[in-house]
Amino acid sequence: MKHTYDVIVIGSGPGGLAAAIAAKENGAGDVLIIERDIELGGILVQCIHNGFGLEIFDEDMPGPTYAQHFIEKARGTGVDTLMDTMVLDITPDRTVYAINKSQGYIQLVARAIVLAMGCRERTRAQILLPGSRPAGVYTAGTAQRFVNVEGRMPGEQFVILGSGDIGMIMARRLTIEGAKVKRVLEIMPYLTGLTRNYVQCLLDYGITLQKQRTVNRIIGRDRVEAIEAVSVDESWNPIPGTKEVIPCDSLLLSVGLIPENELSKKAGVLLDPVTNGPYVDDRFMTNVPGIFAAGNVVHVYDLVDWVTEAGYVAGKGAAQFAQAEAIPEGKQVALEAGENVRYVVPHKLTKASLAEELVRLQMRAVTPIEERVLVTVEDQDGEVIAKKGEPYARPGEIISLTIKPKSFEAVQKAVKLTVNVRKRK
Ligand SMILES: Cc1cc2nc3c(=O)[nH]c(=O)nc-3n(C[C@H](O)[C@H](O)[C@H](O)COP(=O)(O)OP(=O)(O)OC[C@H]3O[C@@H](n4cnc5c(N)ncnc54)[C@H](O)[C@@H]3O)c2cc1C
């Protein structure tokens, strides 16, 4: 096996596949994807529902179909793959240490790396859920894998905690497979997933969502027998007199995703405490030269199409870096989260690159605004550089805004840029 690659991509989900394809298309010689699973495609392999590809293909596809398109493209462009191989460590000088059954411990060197390790689900321990510790408590993604990949039902009577997308999608899936989903409980006063999933997965199947309500206690010794639900106030304190015991044999947790960045930290990549992903510029390069990141490892995306787009940008940057051992730095300007914005990605705009192509900003609102909003990018003097109207702003749905090359002059003069989401006057 060759030991030096132009670009090594870690992870073969939509972010990694797009990055590898783009690296090849932009002149990188040897490009390798390392994947710990036995199949390419990442999380999409288990997402057999439709709802993928609406933005890129204008088509409503199941996850595996969407993935297959890019798997074939990667194979067609000559991307190498190393499957069933776990990356254990990366260094700032871009040495990659991995392990697999046939070759044992492997050491590879890359001129550029793209981190595309996706994210993982929050577990019971991370939300400090009290009660006994019986079998029957699963994360929604684990249950999804059981049903869609292993062909096994994890239970018969479910309560789902959290209104994230995976939980709502699983509420529908389990109902189709004959289980009873008794309730979806959400601690926040608003939905945390996409509205379309609420309509298509809960409303259409008569499944009740209760907001500002959570699991107070899990009941059962060997197997879950019931959960105790309770309403909470704004500070998440239980409201007296609102407890209800709901008999069930399984509890699914859909309580958030965390970008998978243990490897990134080992390589010296700095993480944004709000996104839990790397600080990146508009080419998705991290603070470590030559190490790029794409997809859910950067921040948790709601739509796969934007993951693919980010993968293309990161892969192109990685190819340029691999060929030049650097990319023209250019002056950079910081992008900051302003009014009602929790975070914005990328964190920095490279002034020079904006002259060539548009840059997509992605952000999440802090609190919902259920009326028309104006999203603005403003310079230090409040001058509007880019803007966009939206019918509403909801924390569960990413807001996307592009800065076009025509704003190049204005960005050249800016010292910092702030992104705001305000009610439209
Ligand atoms: C349940 C669910 C439902 C969704 N539904 C929709 C939908 O309907 N429509 C839509 O547009 N989007 C949907 N999404 C969102 C979209 O699927 C994700 O945003 C996208 O798949 C993320 O891609 P990724 O490449 O960043 O990560 P992933 O697809 O998670 O891929 C990461 C890969 O990295 C590998 N990896 C991690 N660490 C290592 C390591 N150390 N060594 C080697 N390999 C490693 C993993 O095995 C994995 O294959 C859904 C997501 C989920 C989880």
Q: Where are the chain's structural domains?
A: 1-121+257-328, 123-255, 330-425
Centre of ligand 1 from the C-alpha of residue 410, in Å = 36
Residues 6+ away with beta carbon under 8 Å from 406: none
Architecture of domain 123-255: 3-Layer(bba) Sandwich (3.50)
Q: Is 376 exposed, middle or buried (0-12, 13-18, 19+ CB in 10 A)?
A: buried
pLDDT (0 to 100) of residue 332:
87
Q: What is the pLDDT of residues 283-311, one digit of tens each?
A: 999 999 999 999 999 999 989 999 999 99
Centre of ligand 1 from the C-alpha of residue 368, in Å = 26
Q: How far apart are CA 162 and CA 193, in angstroms?
A: 9
Q: Which amino acid is at 59?
A: E
250-253 and 157-161 strand pairing: parallel
pLDDT (0 to 100) of residue 316:
95
Please name every residue paired with 121 in a beta bridge, in sequence order, or none if there are none: 257
Architecture of domain 1-121+257-328: 3-Layer(bba) Sandwich (3.50)
Centre of ligand 1 from the C-alpha of residue 241, in Å = 41
Centre of ligand 1 from the C-alpha of residue 118, in Å = 5
Centre of ligand 1 from the C-alpha of residue 187, in Å = 25
1-121+257-328 and 123-255 agree in CATH topology: yes
Mention the CATH class of domain 330-425.
Answer: mainly beta
Q: What is the pLDDT of residues 39-87, one digit of tens each?
A: 999 999 999 999 999 989 999 999 999 999 999 999 999 999 999 999 9
Q: How far apart are CA 264 and CA 261, in angstroms?
A: 5
Q: Which atom of ligand 1 is nearest to the CA of 295?
A: 26
Element (DSSP H or E) covering residue 143 = helix 140-145
Q: How far apart are CA 191 and CA 186, in angstroms?
A: 7
Selection from 325, 324, 349 nearest residue 412 by Cα: 349
Residues 6+ away with beta carbon under 8 Å from 58: none
Tokens of 332: 């950079």
Pocket of ligand 1 (CB under 6 A): 10-16, 34-37, 42-44, 47, 49, 51-52, 86-87, 116-118, 141, 144, 165-166, 169, 260, 263, 295-297, 301, 303-305, 307
Mean pLDDT, the chain, rounded, equals 94
Q: Are 317 and 9 in contact (CB under 8 A)?
A: no
Q: Which atom of ligand 1 is nearest to the CA of 98?
A: 42
Q: What is the pLDDT of residues 180-202, one digit of tens each?
A: 999 999 999 999 999 999 999 99
Element (DSSP H or E) covering residue 7 = strand 4-10
